[in-house]
Amino acid sequence: MNFVVKGQSYSDSLKNLSREGACIHTSRSFSIGAEISLELPPRDNGKKVVGDVVWVGPEGIGVRFRVLDRTLLEKGVPCRENQNKEFNLTEKEAHRMGKIQTRKLRWEPAAGDETTKYKLYWSENGKVDYSSNCAEVGGVTQLILPDDIPSFPRTAGNLELGIAAVNQAGNESDITKISAYFDFSVPEAPKSLMIEDL
């Protein structure tokens, strides 16, 4: 699959595809929020689509299309196996997400820091390390969770989070860690709404 980020052309393999987005298998480093233009394979309608990088992992990146691809929906293209399940939501499930209370995560750069970006790590089962789920977050020093990280787990429970600084060479600092309880679950909606005459 051919794609363009910041005017630079790349070619890597397509890992999965749905009408909402795609997963690209790549070892290259991209930032969350980067605009990406993809040339879809001929078997999946062969046209160009524009999206944004929404998660970054050790084996690839997730892309959310800016306009849902109706052609793919009509063709019934399935969402193939994906380590990040965000593109597997049906329209009914997407409408059941409700409104959640967000949390702010912030940190201070180290003195004399020459960091070009940061990487957020998280673990639902145990301690955070360099093999944990992660997302590159650019040069920011605060995040609104889960809004800023689409792949962040939207569940209730204790999580360990970690932030690592990444320099231009791609080297990472030690991970600064914190544990906290998060509740991004939503209650069931009321049923059978009615209007009656008095």
Measured between alpha carbons, how far apart are the two ends of the chain, in Å? Answer: 63
3-state secondary structure of 102: coil
Confidence at residue 175, expressed as pLDDT on a 0 to 100 scale: 95
Read off the tokens for 149: 């990280």
User: Average pLDDT for residues 131-154, to the nearest whole number?
Assistant: 86
Confidence at residue 34, expressed as pLDDT on a 0 to 100 scale: 86
Confidence at residue 79, expressed as pLDDT on a 0 to 100 scale: 37
User: What are 68-124's pLDDT values in tens digits?
Assistant: 544 444 444 433 333 343 444 333 333 344 688 889 999 998 877 677 789 999 998
User: Average pLDDT for residues 162-166, to the nearest whole number?
Assistant: 92
What angle is formed at CA 37 by the lines to CA 32 and CA 40, rounded to 5 degrees?
120
pTM for the full predicted model: 0.52
Confidence at residue 73, expressed as pLDDT on a 0 to 100 scale: 41
Confidence at residue 78, expressed as pLDDT on a 0 to 100 scale: 39
Give all domains of the chain, ordered by start, each with its CATH number.
Answer: 2-89 (2.40.10), 103-183 (2.60.40.10)
Confidence at residue 32, expressed as pLDDT on a 0 to 100 scale: 83
Average pLDDT, the chain: 78
C-alpha to C-alpha distance for 161 and 176, rounded to whole angstroms: 8
More confident residue, 186 or 82: 186
Q: Is the confidence at residue 21, as pLDDT, over 70?
A: yes
Read off the tokens for 131: 């093999």
